[in-house]
């Protein structure tokens, strides 16, 4: 006597479907892991670039501070167009009144302690 398996149609569709789902799951896990690694590498590259930019920024700020220092301004003044700090005795005080009058320049209100 031959025995006919009633689950033949069920197993005929379910076994290949379950194998396909398992393969799809494995490949999707590998793809997801690869995508995460790629994202990690891109974040690391951006972080490295950020550190380089910060280093360049600090260098530029140090150069700016060096150029704007008082000693640098005094050393640049050795040429024809000299940058010098004004003498306090020779400074003229200019005051503007609240009216529409010309500016008033005077030496009044100052104590002259020089010659």
> At CA 69, angle to CA 71 and CA 59, rounded to 5?
125
Q: Read off the pLDDT band of 7 (50, 70, 90).
A: low
**Total-model pTM:** 0.46
At residue 93, does pLDDT exceed 70? no
pLDDT of residue 12: 77
| Contact status, residue 72 vs residue 83, Cβ threshold 8 Å | no
Distances (CA, A) of 81 to 13, 65, 70, 74, 78: 94, 22, 16, 12, 8
Residue in the structure block whose two tokens are 């799809």:
24
Nearest C-alpha neighbor of 77 from the set 67, 65, 85, 87:
85
Rounded CA separation 78/68 (Å): 16
The pLDDT-based confidence of 80 (bands split at 50, 70, 90) is: low
């Amino acid at each position: 006597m031959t025995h006919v398996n009633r689950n033949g149609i069920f197993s005929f569709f379910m076994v290949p479907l379950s194998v396909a789902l398992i393969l799809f799951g494995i490949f999707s896990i590998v793809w997801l892991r690869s995508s995460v690694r790629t994202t990690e590498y891109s974040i690391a590259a951006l972080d490295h670039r950020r550190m380089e930019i910060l280093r360049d920024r600090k260098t530029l700020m140090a150069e700016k501070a060096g150029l704007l220092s008082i000693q640098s301004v005094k050393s640049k003044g050795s040429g024809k167009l000299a940058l010098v700090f004004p003498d306090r005795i020779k400074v003229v005080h200019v005051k503007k009144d609240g009216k529409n009058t010309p500016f008033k320049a005077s030496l009044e209100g100052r104590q002259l302690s020089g010659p």
